[in-house]
Structure 1
Amino acid sequence: MTATYLVTGGMGCIGAWTLYHLVRQGKRAVCFDLNDDRHRLDLLLTRDEQEQITFVRGDLTDTALVR
């Protein structure tokens, strides 16, 4: 079974760097954030690398989305 990592706030500074390291290590990652501005990820990862990430736009307090 392969682990999937949920990165909340993935569009922020710490979240983007976390996604960077997960992708570079070949891990499966889900980016969960209200923001959909990928400018930080564009600086760190290629488009091909970003395609390995599942992006979910939403509020962490919305329990229906988090399930």
Structure 2
Amino acid sequence: MASSTLKIHPNSLYRWIQEYEKYGESAFPGHGSALRHAQFETKKLEKEHKLLQEELALLKKFQVFLKPNRK
């Protein structure tokens, strides 16, 4: 059994597998510590917020090219 080879409790291994299947790579950031669901959601929303801010900044830069030339 893998848990005995790794010298960890089978329940720990089972829980880690469940968290990985549910949250993927983001379930164990940093040094492998698991995030609680609320922490995971917060990190996910922060990442999405940053992406949306970057997209908005880019759209604002291109807005100049979309305006008709007024001469």
TM-score computed with the length of structure 2 as normaliser:
0.24
> Which structure ranks higher in relative contact order (CA pairs < 8 Å, sequence separation ≥ 6)?
1
The structure number with the bigger radius of gyration is 2
TM-score computed with the length of structure 1 as normaliser:
0.26
* Structure with the largest fraction of strand: 1
* Structure with the largest fraction of helix: 2
